Amino acid sequence: MSTHDPYTHSQVVILGAGFAGLACAKGLGNSGISVTVVDRRNHNLFQPLLYQVATAALSPADIAEPVRRTLGRYDNIRVMLGEVVGIDHPGHRVMLKDGTSLPYDELVIATGSEYNYFGNDEWKPFAPGLKTVHEARLIRHRLLSAFEQAERATDPAIRKRLLTFAIIGGGPTGVEMAGAISELARHMIQHDFRAINKHEVDVLLIEAGPRILTAFPEKLAAYAHSYLTDIDVRILTGRSVTGINANSLSLDDERIETSCIVWGAGVRASPAARWLGVEGGQQGRIPVEPDLSLRGHPDISIIGDTAFAKDEDGKPLPALAQVAKQQGAYLADRLRHKLSGRPHTAPFRFHNRGNTAVIGRNAAIFDFGSWTLKGRMAWFLWALVHVYLLVNFEKRLLVSIQWITRYFTRQRSARLIDENHGRDDDSSDSPDKPVEAQPATCR
């Protein structure tokens, strides 16, 4: 089939341009199959490094790229900026917020996840998560502004609030944020501020469970706990948040005043279950068949964080980028076979390439299942893996240069305070962002 007439063949619609959606789209590239990728944002985002945007180590443009640029080399792929509000599966149409609809022969749902505030969505403005560029820049604004205000504050109580930072959730995102904020504070204050002391900074990592990093072996979690404690992160386990407002949070009957709260305490799937009129499973994720299709609807496939898929042992697959990318590549191959009339009966099999979290400078952990790695070597491996996973050579080169520079100088190049609370006035610091999107995967 010709790839120069891309819209006359089987129409595959992919909802979401994150790890899963892009992997599927690339796998269908130049196939002669008409592919339309729909997302609420115009850029794909490398979420595992978003915490470095929030802590002024990288600029947003270092880890984001317009979707049209990523997929522009494929003649059969069309990119559409739009927000999905429903799916008419009997009529084979996707309903968009602007009142239009999009027909499909095969539908791929890769709309990802969002942070779960467990029925307390009113906390979200005061405790943003790390899912979008806007949220990362908002956190960066609050962090850097707090240091500037503390430099001028004379009231000890005000200084204490300004220099108290709370991260809720002891998973990889929370651990990475806590370590990054502590290192930012210690080294920035030492070199650039005169009226405040690094020992005044109080970084809190709050976890409702008995320990941090519950998805990792206990020995790796213990190493992370020890390292964070050594860099002055105060870890509070077995403590549940009961209230959040603009200037404080409550842990049961204890009130802690703080200038910046970061939420990383759990995720829930996008509203895809509601669009389809099906029952969502764990965290709202939709149960799928072994070939990642929706039960009873072989023309609808679900991948990434939106899918509740299991491994060979019946255990749920984690919400990781590597899972999403493998699912996207597998589904692209299955659709190529299906739409060309060839059989494809092999179920999806996840190949675990290790779970990782970075804790700080020269400190990371890797869990490969049968063996583990921690410390400096794990940190170098983490850096290599994350550079490799960036979307193109240009991003890999930019991030590598900035990391090498920061490693030797300890300086962070993106320490810009946004005048409009998260909107950069330097266009080079941010990708095009007319609308925010549901990410197509999470960590």
Any residues with CB less than 8 A from the CB of 409 and at least 6 apart, and which? none
Q: How far is CA 99 from the centre of its chain?
A: 29
Residue 94 and residue 282 in contact, taking contact as beta carbons nearer than 8 Å: no
List active site positions.
176
The closest alpha carbon to 396, from 406, 383, 408, belongs to: 383
Query: With b meaning 16 or more CB within 10 Å and e meaning fewer, what string describes 347-384?
Result: ebebebebbbbbbbbebbbbbeeeebbbeeebbeebbe
H-type alpha helices, 370-425? 376-389, 393-409
Strands across the sheet with 293-294, in order? 77-81, 34-39, 11-15, 106-109, 297-302, 293-294
Are 63 and 51 in contact, with CB atoms under 8 Å apart? no
State phi, psi for 135 to the nearest 5 degrees: -65, -40
* Residues contacting residue 173 through CB under 8 Å, at least 6 positions apart: 51, 129, 130, 264, 443
Distances (CA, A) of 142 to 171, 260, 321, 415: 22, 6, 28, 12
Name the 3-class secondary structure at 236: strand
Find, among 351, 331, 335, 272, the residue nearest to 306 by Cα: 272
Cα–Cα distances in angstroms (integers) from residue 240 to residues 5, 172, 185, 246, in the given order? 57, 18, 26, 18
Q: Three-state DSSP class for 120?
A: coil
| Interatomic CA distance for residues 174 and 134, integer angstroms | 18
d(CA 113, CA 54): 19
What whole-number distance in Å separates Cα of residue 53 and Cα of residue 295? 39
Helical (H) or strand (E) element with 176: helix 172-192
Say if CB 213 and CB 222 are below 8 A apart. Answer: no
Amino acid symbol at 343: P
What does the DSSP assignment read for 147-159?
HHHHHH---HHHH
Q: Are 44 and 67 in contact (CB under 8 A)?
A: yes
